Amino acid sequence: MDLDPKTDLHFTRSLAVPRALVWECWTSPEHIPHFFVPRPHRVTACDIDLRVGGRFNTTFEVEGKEMQNNGVYLEVVPQEKLVFTDAYSEGWKPAPDPFMTAILILSDARDGGTTYTAIARHRNAETAETHKAMGFYDGWGTVVTQLEDYAKGLMK
């Protein structure tokens, strides 16, 4: 995948949990609230229709304020790749002010773990810089740490 350093923010981490479990956490609405936003913020609702064009809607509570984030899946390759965006909502209805497209790439790592790559693709360099300044690396890094910790608990 070609990444544009002006519009794409990304990182790769090795997780000590199997790829199938990482996939399950990312694609099941009962799991999303346990990792999807950095604590102390929280997900209060999640609605998933896991198919291209299907909805990925979440509601967050951030500092006492409720935030609705509606989006759709653009690509679903089981246990390998998940692409979703807030540029559209279900039914391919364009969003008035889209922010980004998220791309998650999963592959097997040593010892049964997962190589996890997260990409946030933006429409322009200004939006990418805004996301970077908002704390993309810390925020998304915290989310993947929370995901790994939560998934380890499911393995017990």
Banded model confidence at residue 156, pLDDT cuts 50, 70, 90: confident
Give the mean model confidence (pLDDT) for residues 4-32.
97
- Whether residue 1 is contained in a domain is answered as no
Q: What is the mean pLDDT of the chain?
A: 96
Residue 77 has pLDDT above 90, yes or no: yes
85 token code pair: 């965006």
- Whether residue 4 is contained in a domain is answered as no
- Whether residue 2 is contained in a domain is answered as no
- Whether residue 39 is contained in a domain is answered as yes
- Whether residue 115 is contained in a domain is answered as yes
Give the mean model confidence (pLDDT) for residues 108-125.
96
Please state the pTM of the whole predicted model. Answer: 0.94
What does the longest C-alpha to C-alpha distance in the chain come to?
45
- Whether residue 3 is contained in a domain is answered as no
**pLDDT for res 1:** 80
Expressed as residue numbers, the domain containing 15 is 9-155
By DSSP bridging, strand 81-85 and strand 101-108 are antiparallel
Domain count, the chain: 1
Banded model confidence at residue 82, pLDDT cuts 50, 70, 90: very high
- Whether residue 133 is contained in a domain is answered as yes
- Whether residue 146 is contained in a domain is answered as yes
Neighbours of 105 (CB within 10 A): 17
The per-residue DSSP string of 92-108 comes to TEEPSS---EEEEEEEE
CATH number at residue 16: 3.30.530.20
